[in-house]
Structure 1
């Protein structure tokens, strides 16, 4: 009887733990990625300089991931279209390793171990980018797979390759393929990787078998890792599947500093409104549809697309982008060169109300789309709500805003404008609101205790 009772108590206790343990990425990840400012060319010195700014200026506001994007294994990244001269490096087991000429702390087969430690010592989390698959050069050399009896030729699917990146072969969905990904994730765990962005896997093409292998490898490695799938647009029909396997997945192709796109690439800010509205219902702790990085501030010295430049989004367009991302609960991953942060961009990144909407809201939704005016609402803890109005048109709009029109009930709120800080007493409307062309207005609305906000 005692044994049975003990087993019952243990079972109940285990259930409580299982129910209360936070998932990986319980809130949308926030941080910085090197791609928009450095493309393939980021060096250790540049990365550390950005990490320093991230840790001192932005971490207090929740920005805590520092991610090295594509190309870290290339000696000559500017020759990336020519793999024979880009100088890609692999170890004895066919896994990419950092180019020591660019990342000197990787000397002696240390990989990103020291960088990972230093990022963690700064109170941040460390991420890297890979393209799915196994290096073609590993297959040519038929390198052994660490920890197994397999070799690279057993792993590689030489009829499958990323259509826009010629460096790898796909990985077979077999024991050898799993062993290779297991080896890769053990390596990354040793480097202290907290976020893994995997490219050419979420769309064009969608490779769910490789996603599953990577997920299993993460679990075997024993280190919590945010799995980020790229690029998009991930198909809505795959929503449940990617939600089981990853913490974030791209809902569009690459977003750049373009307000309205005239071509299919890159994606524009305005093109995201329909996408985030379609995906919002899938956002929950551990599952975050990803609207892509924020190409704000200085996109230099070597952005992943286009010439070095200051973001071409206007101030109003920049506010609209980050506000939409926050209302939709997208991950917030900044692309700016942090060592060149200007005052305006900084104000976008340290707005606590906006960050709270992104990190703590529930039930975010598009509630109205009338012509060029789009409205979103969100519920927050403490009887608080957010209302955002977006003007995607080319002329300003002036209007009286009644909260009840947007499904917020006929009660009254204490109102605070998120961007200019102006406040109003208990009211059910704001008169004479000007929503700039390409701009937005967003309010925090707090209800009084015991007030029936949905009543007549």
Structure 2
């Protein structure tokens, strides 16, 4: 080699050796989070990079691995977004990671949970120990037949009053009150435990109740001894809405446990399952999986689908084994929220009928957030809608006025009518709506709702009921009868009139 060529080659080698390989980022590797809020329960972060390309995920107890979207380093800080499962207007949420004293400080928000946690650097082998264990959904099978819930279920549920703060003693007290107040005899049958009963799984994966429920079989036996039935709650996700153990990966096992304990009703709430089952196909299959598991136990269950009215649930709810399906998000104890659901979010009437019902959520009657007129509207709307009647107040504190409202036999009969028709608006005039609900005996229930802020007066006509004439009128709330409709009905602000008419 000539001296000139050698010199050129040497210089080139010097230049090449002086150009280091692209360095990994300071965030590359496995980071373990040992102390983090339970919701969403961040356990690990994994980051890897190649040149300018960065990818990674944050593993949580609620949602499994949360993929980093558009990860990038700006001013030494790793920024990324994560998909937001509950806000179509804001489909992503911002996250960041900064290295502080050798730890990764992770900050962000997912759904309603704020995250600000520190993780320690660890080895790759630790990632396998904390890796989320995915489970596969079975395909949809043949429609699951149902011969129960010929009329909308009636009962009580713990959530609206007690939230997750429910226990064995309170459930027994509610069963006692159902009997002593006459609510059971009025038709309220189910005593349902909502979220907050779950403990941990044993070595075999069998879910145990927490310390507030020392003996589930003894509890169900007690409720059954009162001539009542009892319900329980779960989610197809890893966590329930309140952060307790869900049924993800244990569906058949949990259904068997509920049957062995003696439960008669399951409310199945999508909650963290939204992350895994985010389209119509996977949501349907996740509900079918539990519906088939309940059927396989050989025990009769009311199956309540709680997925907030997504993907036209009423059009397929029966096929997955459901007898009722939520049409909306959670109700709250105030008139605007109740009215929005009752008037506008109560489901397609074509979907409702014997063995399958639109569920606009539980009753707030008796919880104190509305006036008597507003609660009467609430009860009238649910009755006209053929909705499940699930009370949500402390039954031990039921006032005489509330008890009279909840046990009115004519109002209950409208809700429970065997024809199973969901009533709907037949006339709207300003803030006033007239609803009609055909009944099995040929009569028609009519309701006059005043959604306005001042009292109003409006007539009801035979045409509202689809009749040529009306010769029998019974006031559903007072029981007063007449042989014709009055010239007009006076309806208080946010109030209702409900009558049963026949020709």
The TM-score normalised by the length of structure 2 is 0.66
Superposition deviation, residue 291 in structure 1: 0.6
Q: Does 1:342 align with 2:453?
A: no
8 A contact 2:196–2:242 mirrored in 1: no
Superposition deviation, residue 134 in structure 1: 4.6
Q: Does 1:285 align with 2:343?
A: no
Superposition deviation, residue 208 in structure 1: 2.0
User: How does 1:91-110 map onto structure 2 within 5 Å?
Assistant: 91-100=202-211, 102-104=212-214, 106=215
User: How does 1:335-374 map onto structure 2 within 5 Å?
Assistant: 335-360=392-417, 361-363=419-421, 364-374=423-433
Q: Distance in 1 between matches of 2:221 and 2:244?
A: 29
Paired position in structure 1 for 2:451:
392
8 A contact 2:161–2:394 mirrored in 1: yes
Paired position in structure 2 for 1:297:
366
Equivalenced residues, count: 349
- From 257, 261, 265, the equivalent of 1:187 is 257
Q: Distance in 1 between matches of 2:223 and 2:449?
A: 37
Q: Distance in 2 between matches of 1:212 and 1:401?
A: 44
Q: Distance in 1 between matches of 2:311 and 2:284?
A: 12
- From 405, 421, 441, the equivalent of 1:382 is 441
Are residues 40 and 362 of structure 1, via their aligned partners in 2, closer, same or farther at CA, if it must alter by over 3 Å? closer
Are residues 269 and 400 of structure 1, via their aligned partners in 2, closer, same or farther at CA, if it must alter by over 3 Å? closer
Paired position in structure 2 for 1:435:
491
- From 36, 60, 76, the equivalent of 2:185 is 60
Paired position in structure 2 for 1:51:
175
Superposition deviation, residue 239 in structure 1: 2.8
Deviations 1:300-355 (A, max 9, x none): xxxxxxxxxxx211111101011101101110100010010011111111111111
Superposition deviation, residue 115 in structure 1: 1.0
The TM-score normalised by the length of structure 1 is 0.72
Between 1 and 2, higher relative CO (CA 8 Å, sep ≥ 6) is seen in: 1
Q: Does 1:258 align with 2:340?
A: no
- From 216, 227, 239, the equivalent of 2:292 is 216
Deviations 1:5-48 (A, max 9, x none): xxxxxxxxxxxxxxxx9712111000000111111111211111
Larger radius of gyration: 2
- From 365, 376, 381, the equivalent of 1:319 is 376
Deviations 1:98-153 (A, max 9, x none): 223x223x1xxxxx111111111111111011122356xxxxxxxxxxxxxxxxxx
Q: What secondary structure, in the 3-state scheme, does the structure 2 residue paired with 1:41 have?
A: coil
Q: What secondary structure, in the 3-state scheme, does the structure 1 residue paired with 2:328 have?
A: coil
Superposition deviation, residue 89 in structure 1: 2.5
Paired position in structure 2 for 1:140:
none
Paired position in structure 1 for 2:102:
none
Q: What secondary structure, in the 3-state scheme, does the structure 2 residue paired with 1:269 have?
A: helix
Q: Distance in 2 between matches of 1:166 and 1:334?
A: 24
Unaligned runs of 5+ in 1: 1-20, 74-87, 107-111, 136-161, 172-176, 261-266, 299-310, 448-456
Q: Distance in 1 between matches of 2:167 and 2:247?
A: 28
Please identify which structure carries the higher strand content.
2
Are residues 239 and 421 of structure 1, via their aligned partners in 2, closer, same or farther at CA, if it must alter by over 3 Å? closer
Deviations 1:362-396 (A, max 9, x none): 43332122221111111212222110010011111
- RMSD of Structure 2 on Structure 1 (CA): 2.2
Which 4+ stretches in 1 moved above 4 angstroms? 164-170, 201-206
Superposition deviation, residue 231 in structure 1: 4.1
Superposition deviation, residue 214 in structure 1: 0.3
User: How does 1:401-416 map onto structure 2 within 5 Å?
Assistant: 401-404=460-463, 406-416=464-474
Are residues 275 and 413 of structure 1, via their aligned partners in 2, closer, same or farther at CA, if it must alter by over 3 Å? farther
Paired position in structure 2 for 1:303:
none
